[in-house]
Structure 1
């Protein structure tokens, strides 16, 4: 079985991605693969080919996100006349256990030997990032997410892969529980994965510094982009509450229409304006006391009551805006929102409307390593010691294995 998408327009977008298109010829593949696969191909060419079956898996639980890898294989099979087929054991968006093969690849050993390196590159990081994205949006089902990980990526191909993964995690969460999930990305190219023509975002700190004040930056933004929601970064001068309310007072009609979004991005070196450790504790005890009445790690406590964009900071900002009569103004939070932080924000019931994050990208890169083992040669099962379980999995998907 192969991955299909009902939306033909989006499917065309996927096929146009760099991650699918490159590298797409065997000379380039050979140059980028591990040398021992090239030597293996040379040996097989000399001593005779065999039909083989590969099982491809990860060592940790993930969400299946094989589309880019499969489209790359499709492109290569067609262009280079490779006689091979693949079988997807866990279609896109399905949960995969540790060690369970996501897909099987069957064909000529001579032709397939050199594909393994790049195939694994295109699979592992996508699956882990999709899993992280899924877990994040599941914990905050009523919150919008924006994928803002481009600057954390090692090049554009990686950006495409992880932002595709955010889309997969969102699709899975929407199917399971109706979560809003990721609604777009920060750049125009990958925004197309979400059916959009442009990226989302507020403004950078650099614009606030250039303008000289938060209110002036908001004025400039609105003058140039009057039809867009006015998204304002409010932490530059360390006066999130004061500057946030000043922006709302400057644009009362937009505030009343819910067309202002204030972004909290306070760094971890200080508390949001008006807060300290004690007042932060008091806020959480008032709104979600159960979160402090169980054991919390130091990291979890920081997410609740510490410096930066904590659950307490979100509650504090919401209360101050409501008191000033700006209850329809939305809050977007950013700065280190990973699976753990999203869970703590959810437990504290913090009223955040949107989260901008790149932390669905795996923190531990070694968790993204996909592995491929050959499990059969000319129909006879044979696999390295300790991986016999792969053969048992395979028999329900691949015929002709004895």
Structure 2
């Protein structure tokens, strides 16, 4: 893909703001290099951009920013994307070739790499989660865990791209939306999704009363009720279902468990958790399991046993149409464990597709050609092989 060459110029005030931002946030040695190049003569260069791990390609934020900067500087960059957005890319394979004036490109590296690496890894994680649980809907609840609005933008974009790739690969439900209005457009929505935090349960004084308040204020909305505030997940889930049987029957009521890791869901302990899992997934704990995986299966918090138990209780009480939403630490690894036992969860609220190891998000760029002549540092010759 090539960035269109003369585009509408950026307003003077915006151009000045962009330059100020670049100057403040780029590595100083890039700024010094720009000054050296300007003093001794500019050259056309081509950068190869790659990552050291497999990713799902998410270039849009980087490309949009580079195009805006090129317009602000009155220059043009050739942006050759080596893959379509949403494509799987192997470790070390060039993602982008970027060609233009060295004086105009050299001080941009810090910022465009920041806009490419984290989304690519987050999209890979979102893709993995959706593929492992193709029949489960996901809700992106990452915003409150992000380090500012720019990261929240990257993560929402990444979740949408990874989700779309999973739909194409596995016909997965994927991410149906997210928790904020600002980034809802990435999921094809006008608004974010969500009903209530724990704070509303405390304010109302009971789980049922919080549900009543919500229904009174938003009668047309579906209802998802947190049921772990008082440590009575089963009791309160059943009480809400009995209060709103019409919503259950219409498939518009869900109970959400967010039980923290310091206690078991109501009615469970180690013995009963193992018994429940043995009944529903008898081979689950006969396989090799790490300590963490065992905790996700039969431990405290939102375990597979907890989900099975709540589903059993809802069904026994005649509320089979009430759905279960689970949250609390649903990383790609935890989703894989839940998939292995076919835990009966209908929706997962997660921010855990965020990269767990930020060293994996590091994107790297190397110049591979000066004025059209190939030249790259020793050891990076592989970057030349896929050049189009």
Q: Structures share a fold, TM > 0.5? A: yes
- 1:352 matched to 2:345? The reply is yes
Q: For residues 291-344 of structure 1, what are the alpha-carbon distances to aligned partners after superposition, in whole Å with 9 as ceiling and x for unaligned?
A: 212100011111111110011100000000000000000100000001110011
- 1:293 matched to 2:286? The reply is yes
Q: CA deviation at 1:76?
A: 1.6
Count of residues paired in the alignment: 379
Q: Structure 1: state its 5+ residue gaps.
A: 4-20, 398-402
Q: CA deviation at 1:393?
A: 2.3
Q: What CA distance in whole angstroms lies between the structure 1 residues aligned with 2:179 and 2:276?
A: 32
1:3-402 to 2 correspondences below 5 Å? 25-394=18-387, 397=388
Report the TM-score, using the length of structure 2 for normalisation. Answer: 0.95
Is the contact made by 1:24 and 1:72 (CA closer than 8 Å) also made in structure 2?
A: no
Q: CA deviation at 1:378?
A: 1.4
Is the contact made by 1:24 and 1:76 (CA closer than 8 Å) also made in structure 2?
A: no
Q: For residues 67-86 of structure 1, what are the alpha-carbon distances to aligned partners after superposition, in whole Å with 9 as ceiling and x for unaligned?
A: 11001111222232123201
Q: What CA distance in whole angstroms lies between the structure 1 residues aligned with 2:283 and 2:63?
A: 46
Cα gap change, 1:22/1:258 in structure 2, threshold over 3 Å: closer, same or farther?
farther
Q: What CA distance in whole angstroms lies between the structure 1 residues aligned with 2:182 and 2:352?
A: 20
Q: CA deviation at 1:38?
A: 0.6
| Structure 1, 250-259 or 74-83: larger mean CA deviation | 74-83
Q: For residues 231-279 of structure 1, what are the alpha-carbon distances to aligned partners after superposition, in whole Å with 9 as ceiling and x for unaligned?
A: 1000000000001000111111111111111000000001100011111
SS at match of 1:290: coil
Q: For residues 37-95 of structure 1, what are the alpha-carbon distances to aligned partners after superposition, in whole Å with 9 as ceiling and x for unaligned?
A: 11001111111111111011111111100111001111222232123201001221011
Q: What CA distance in whole angstroms lies between the structure 2 residues aligned with 1:195 and 1:41?
A: 41
Q: What CA distance in whole angstroms lies between the structure 2 residues aligned with 1:197 and 1:73?
A: 27
Q: Structure 2: state its 5+ residue gaps.
A: 4-13
Runs of 4+ in structure 1 off by over 4 angstroms are 21-24
Q: What CA distance in whole angstroms lies between the structure 2 residues aligned with 1:130 and 1:23?
A: 32
Q: CA deviation at 1:23?
A: 9.2
Q: CA deviation at 1:2?
A: 5.6
SS at match of 2:177: strand
SS at match of 1:291: coil
Cα gap change, 1:23/1:227 in structure 2, threshold over 3 Å: closer, same or farther?
farther
Q: Name the Cα RMSD after superposition.
A: 1.5
Cα gap change, 1:97/1:24 in structure 2, threshold over 3 Å: closer, same or farther?
farther
Q: What CA distance in whole angstroms lies between the structure 1 residues aligned with 2:383 and 2:252?
A: 54
Is the contact made by 1:283 and 1:315 (CA closer than 8 Å) also made in structure 2?
A: yes
